[in-house]
Structure 1
């Protein structure tokens, strides 16, 4: 029981940490403050620039390419440019919905290849030393394919939720919920995608 409790605490710490405050809380505060004083467009621009800056700084600091973060930064940038040109805050708010749908298509599309996208991302960062023999096992490959399907479903559900929220609540509420949800669901799914193969590795060691 103590071991399970420690794992839960470790998982919570991996989500609700300093990066969570910087990536999620601060942009929400920026947008909510500017929207409250009637400067919604400026709030979108400032919070968008902040989010892009966070991705760039993390890349410089870690010296490591992150496919998910890079795609997110691209969509932040496209949404921001579109918002400035159109002077319509909705342009930036719709861009995460398009991003979720694109993510889903990418994850489902990666199933056509030998290694799915989430397998490539996690193996490059966490399982660099995994033996080729283990990687070639049918069950190991099956696990990654199931995880890719889970990622695709997650992103489709996020897109659906955002569409529903966009038409039912205020702009500030939508931005807050959308940003919080994105910054919680993605780290949790990454943690899950790391833990499931670890379970398989342990099972294989016990069977050996």
Structure 2
């Protein structure tokens, strides 16, 4: 019992470390500090531009260091660049703040749209970075495919709910509060879902094996 509790505690600590780590500070906290500092001196536009440049720089530096193309990072970087360019051209900070809402809705569209393909977007992301040695025969089973379809729906729903939360915040709180909450929320929600995307499939597949074993056992008992 104590060993099981210790394992659960270690798993929770591991998840927290994966979320609240150096990347969280660099990609979420520092941009908030940059924006808040300039917004406090009534230089909101400059704060938005500098924090946007910082976020875009983090994505580019991570790519240079890791030399890997992460689909989620590419999407985030692309929208950060679009939002930044649009803000500079329009000279309106709201443009940059609205960009993540558009990103959320388009992200949901992409995730739900990927259900019509052989491999969904989240399946591609996790297979490239985590599940590299899965037997090809198992990849063709319905149990393997259904796990990714469930996760894809979860990602799509998460993006829609995130957009709704951001819209509500944008309409009800100050610009600086919206920016801070939006950044922190996005930086926490995405890593949590990535952890779930890495752990859920194995649980789902093992659950399927257990269910099949029980069904076979019951079938044998009924025959007897």
Q: TM-score range by the shorter chain?
A: over 0.9
Quick one: distance in 1 between partners of 2:173 and 2:137? Answer: 52
What residue is the counterpart of 1:54 in the other structure? 58
Alpha-carbon distance between aligned partners in 2 of 1:118 and 1:149, rounded to the nearest angstrom: 10
* Aligned equivalent of 2:92: 88
Structure 2 counterparts to residues 6-45 of structure 1, below 5 A? 6-45=10-49
Residue in structure 2 matching 1:106, options 94, 103, 110: 110
Partner residue, 2:195: 191
Between the aligned partners of 2:130 and 2:201, the Cα distance in structure 1 is: 11
Aligned pair 1:120/2:120, yes or no? no
TM-score by length of 2: 0.90
Write the distance in 2 (CA, Å) between the matches of 1:136 and 1:6. Answer: 34
Aligned length: 208
CA distance in 1: counterparts of 2:206 and 2:11, whole angstroms: 16
When the two chains are superposed, the root-mean-square deviation of aligned CA atoms in Å is 1.4
Partner Cα separation in structure 2 for residue 81 and residue 117 of structure 1: 27
**CA deviation string 1:168-199 (max 9, x = no partner):** 00000000000000000000000000001222
What SS does structure 1 have at the residue aligned with 2:30?
Answer: helix
Larger radius of gyration: 2
Deviation at 1:2, TM superposition (A): 0.8
5+ residue gaps, structure 2, are 214-224
Q: Secondary structure at the match of 1:13?
A: helix
- 1:176 paired to 2:191: no
SS at match of 2:172: coil
Once residues 138 and 202 of structure 1 are traced to their aligned partners in structure 2, the CA distance between those partners, rounded to angstroms, is 14
Equivalent in the alignment of 2:219: none
Residues 28-70 of structure 1: per-residue CA shift (max 9 Å, x gap): 0000010001100000000000000000000011110011111
SS of residue matched to 1:64: coil
Superposition map of 1:111-150 within 5 A: 111-150=115-154
SS in 2 for 1:167: helix
8 Å CA contact 2:143–2:205 kept in 1: the answer is no
